[in-house]
Structure 1
Amino acid sequence: MRAAVLTAFGGPEVLEVREVAEPRPGRGGVLVEVRAAAVNNTDLWTRQGAYGLPGHPDALAGWRGPVAFPRIQGGDMAGVVREVGEGVDAAWRGRRVLVDPALYDGPGDDARPIGLLGSEADGGFADAVVVAADRVHDMTDSPLDDEALAALPVAYGTATGMLERGGIGAGETVLVTGASGGVGLAAVQLAAARGARVVALTTPDKADAVRDAGAAATADRHLAGDELTAAVDEAVDGRLDAVVDVVGGAVLSTVLPLVGDGGRWVIAGAMAGPVVEFDLRRLYLHNVALVGSSMHTPAHFARLAADAVAGRIAPRIAARYALADIHAAQEEFARSTHVGKIVLLPGA
């Protein structure tokens, strides 16, 4: 089969599209024919080794440390179960499925992710992938096509985890940073679907697309200091219950004073800088919770899968590429001019 294989940390040249042996499902596993996959920041950062190590932030590493090369990339995928391993109900064969890409630290609905397909195990940038049978979700009744389903696992899974861990629900006012990116746009859509009033930080040229996803108001993410504080304060209209932050950096110290008593700041990214300085008094005097959120739990992903079956979400597809054109897909992704997901089609 064809696959996009990561051979080392480095530039685009270390990612090779080539023929590899098709995997076979063992006990408790299924072979999924990949109909669509999608590109994430995780794919680029893993290729670049950009995650660093504790005490060594510039060290080459995957998100959990070492990466065993060669590694087939890709955490986002949807497809059809083609084979089942020993102990798996044969009725799964032929079903359209969404794959939960997380590797967990144990059983149970609240297990924590400790790995990711495409990083700690082979992923979906291939014609087929073997996954655990308990990590596939039946999408037979979903109105979403394969491309839309493939857009969900990493971005929407991460966003769902943030909303769940932050206890974000109907009637609340929520600020979403990085709102035109994969996780940010997913958070806008999912929070709005829960009945929250969403204010989004984005660029003016992408504001219309973000509002189309469900944001009630937007503010220019290029603003800083007092200007950003004033813009957010006006947009939230005096009430800010929670922040869903995928950017990090100076926005924390700038916007934190606007978060109301009992508010939550949930963070799952640090694109604007991993090291920040803020006034601790704004945290403890107002009983604000600062919550770190990495991906999702099995329960979170099950809620996302239910949303997909019910058609409560509709991912935006920005571009489509054949698997053989993955370098061009990652190049477009890195330019950050798109809104929505960039999808790979292995069968194209």
Structure 2
Amino acid sequence: MGSDQFMTAAVLRRHGGPDVLELRDDWPVPRVGPGQVLVRVSAAALNNTDIWTREGAYGLPGRPEAKAGWRGPVDFPRVQGGDIAGTVQEAAADVPGTWVGRRVLVDPAFYADDREDAVPIGLLGSEADGGFATYVAVDAARVHDMSASPLSDEELASLPVAYGTAMGMLERARITSGETVLVTGASGGVGFALVQLAAARGTRVVALTSGSKAEALSEAGAAETVSRDADPAELRRRLDAAAPGGLDAVADVAGGPWLERLLPALRDGARWVIAGAVAGPVVTFDLRRLYLHNVSLIGSSMHTRSHFADLVELARTGAVRPRIAARYHLSDVHAAQDEFRRGAHIGKIVITP
């Protein structure tokens, strides 16, 4: 595909409000480099990281209010979008030509080294151009063949960031069959993924959410739902009933006051894994409740190659099927982000170019 051709892309010019994300119809189609393929995007999905990257809401060490991407400065201009499903249109000379024409899911993570358990150090749509565009050029090593998957392209595109993050949380916290785990923010993208993936591995899920979304979470596999608006005494009573011996784990995407409120509900030796801070990034809690009860507090950012490979296998068999909350054309990316920010949806908001 010639470099003189152009495409539509949602391009971030700087940190700021919705106006800094420009919809361009004259953006150059990316040139395929060594080891890369060109993917024609069939679907992309929204995540918190898209909003936070635009706003520069990640802060810097010692400067929590500083404008920055999740790994620090962002190299503008940047095409956003970490969730990508599509079809390979072109392959570099050093990539097998058999990839051309294949339906694929793209792993959005950059890793620290070549190990299967290497930690992620970057993300498409943040450290490199992503999928809010007609085409994206990516390393062939990050595309996975989805020819046999029963999932639609929109469902596939809902998986990488949210379900990859959820898979990483469950694995890093060693959450297993027969345990009881509390999921905060359970109706959001990562929260809903946690409910589905944890239930699929035989874990008993207690979902913390607003009352209006309880039914959808029960259908997704939650054994019990608890309203986040319940008063502290009622919340503790419900959790004691759900896990009489204490919770085995908490999978938290909210942060904020929940750490202080819910730590007493954990059993000795429990794990608290956190991958988000939408309810507040700076928290206060009693450290004695942590060390006196041998509770592990685990930070989890996205997934490893191994975690993503496990997710790919679930996608190929259709063992987990994401819920699509809304669909938007790329030209309506601002409206899509606006609906995402309102948070009234359950599941994933998908964009098609």
- TM-score, length basis structure 1: 0.97
Deviations 1:28-68 (A, max 9, x none): 11111100000111111111111111111111111111111
Q: What letter matches 1:114 in structure 2?
A: I
User: Mean Cα displacement is larger for which, 258-267 or 225-234?
Assistant: 225-234
What is the number of residues matched between the two proteins?
Answer: 346
- Asked if the contact 1:51–1:62 (Cα under 8 Å) also holds between the matched residues in 2, the reply is yes
Three-state SS of the structure 2 residue aligned to 1:110 is coil
Please name the residue that 2:207 is paired with.
200
Please name the residue that 1:5 is paired with.
11
Segments of structure 1 that go 5 or more residues without pairing to the other structure are none
- The question of 1:338 aligning with 2:351 is answered no
1:245-256 matches, within 5 Å, as: 245-256=252-263
- The question of 1:72 aligning with 2:82 is answered no
Aligned-pair distance for 1:232?
2.0
**For residues 234 and 206 of structure 2, what CA distance do their matches in structure 1 show?**
16
**For residues 225 and 273 of structure 1, what CA distance do their matches in structure 2 show?**
18
Three-state SS of the structure 1 residue aligned to 2:84 is strand
Please name the residue that 1:53 is paired with.
60
- Asked if the contact 1:228–1:254 (Cα under 8 Å) also holds between the matched residues in 2, the reply is no
1:235-314 matches, within 5 Å, as: 235-314=242-321
1:1-348 matches, within 5 Å, as: 1-18=7-24, 19-346=26-353
- Asked if the contact 1:219–1:235 (Cα under 8 Å) also holds between the matched residues in 2, the reply is no
Deviations 1:95-139 (A, max 9, x none): 111100011111110111111100110000000101111111111
Give the percent of matched residue pairs that are identical in Structure 1 and Structure 2: 66
Please name the residue that 2:3 is paired with.
none
- Asked if the contact 1:26–1:86 (Cα under 8 Å) also holds between the matched residues in 2, the reply is no
Q: What letter matches 1:205 in structure 2?
A: S
Aligned-pair distance for 1:237?
4.0
- Asked if the contact 1:199–1:236 (Cα under 8 Å) also holds between the matched residues in 2, the reply is no
Please name the residue that 2:4 is paired with.
none
**For residues 289 and 56 of structure 2, what CA distance do their matches in structure 1 show?**
35
Three-state SS of the structure 2 residue aligned to 1:81 is strand
Aligned-pair distance for 1:235?
2.8
Aligned-pair distance for 1:240?
1.2
Three-state SS of the structure 2 residue aligned to 1:231 is helix
Three-state SS of the structure 1 residue aligned to 2:289 is helix
Aligned-pair distance for 1:224?
4.7
**For residues 226 and 336 of structure 2, what CA distance do their matches in structure 1 show?**
29
Deviations 1:307-328 (A, max 9, x none): 1001110100011010000011
**For residues 311 and 116 of structure 1, what CA distance do their matches in structure 2 show?**
25
Deviations 1:264-288 (A, max 9, x none): 1000111111222222222222222
Deviations 1:8-39 (A, max 9, x none): 11111111111211012111111111000001
Three-state SS of the structure 2 residue aligned to 1:154 is helix
**For residues 321 and 27 of structure 2, what CA distance do their matches in structure 1 show?**
34
Three-state SS of the structure 2 residue aligned to 1:261 is strand
What's the RMSD between the two structures over aligned residues? 1.1
Three-state SS of the structure 1 residue aligned to 2:28 is coil
**For residues 294 and 72 of structure 1, what CA distance do their matches in structure 2 show?**
21
- Asked if the contact 2:245–2:267 (Cα under 8 Å) also holds between the matched residues in 1, the reply is no
Aligned-pair distance for 1:296?
0.6
- Asked if the contact 2:109–2:122 (Cα under 8 Å) also holds between the matched residues in 1, the reply is yes
Three-state SS of the structure 1 residue aligned to 2:247 is coil
**For residues 348 and 243 of structure 2, what CA distance do their matches in structure 1 show?**
27
Deviations 1:214-240 (A, max 9, x none): 100011112353332223222334441
Deviations 1:237-271 (A, max 9, x none): 44411110000112112211221122110001111
Q: What letter matches 1:303 in structure 2?
A: D
Three-state SS of the structure 2 residue aligned to 1:241 is strand
Segments of structure 2 that go 5 or more residues without pairing to the other structure are 1-6
**For residues 237 and 76 of structure 1, what CA distance do their matches in structure 2 show?**
39
Q: What letter matches 2:209 in structure 1?
A: T
**For residues 299 and 202 of structure 2, what CA distance do their matches in structure 1 show?**
23
